[in-house]
Amino acid sequence: MQSDSTRCSDCGGEMELGFLPDITGAGPLQQMWVRGPVEEKWIGGVKTKGALPVETYRCKNCGLLKSYAK
């Protein structure tokens, strides 16, 4: 028996773990979640202190995506 967290909240289908790649000049990276508004660095880019990796689940039945930063 699967827990509620592995079942789709829309259709009840099975959810599978994956991730949405963040494509950069250095290649694909895992998306990150950062608290607060975007803060730019003085040399370019944005501050990412305290960033959490984002996991995304996809329903095998309807395709619903749910993302979490645990």
pLDDT for 6 equals 86
Q: Do residues 12 and 4 make contact, with C-beta atoms less than 8 angstroms apart?
A: no
The pTM of this model reads: 0.74
Q: Total structural domains in the chain? A: 1
Give tens-digit pLDDT for 15-53. Answer: 999 999 988 888 898 899 988 888 888 888 888 888 999
- Specify the pLDDT at position 24: 83
Two structure tokens written together for 67:
């993302």
- Domain containing 46 equals 4-68
Report the 10 Å Cβ neighbour count for 53: 13
> Cβ-count burial of 44 within 10 angstroms (0-12 exposed, 13-18 middle, 19+ buried)?
exposed
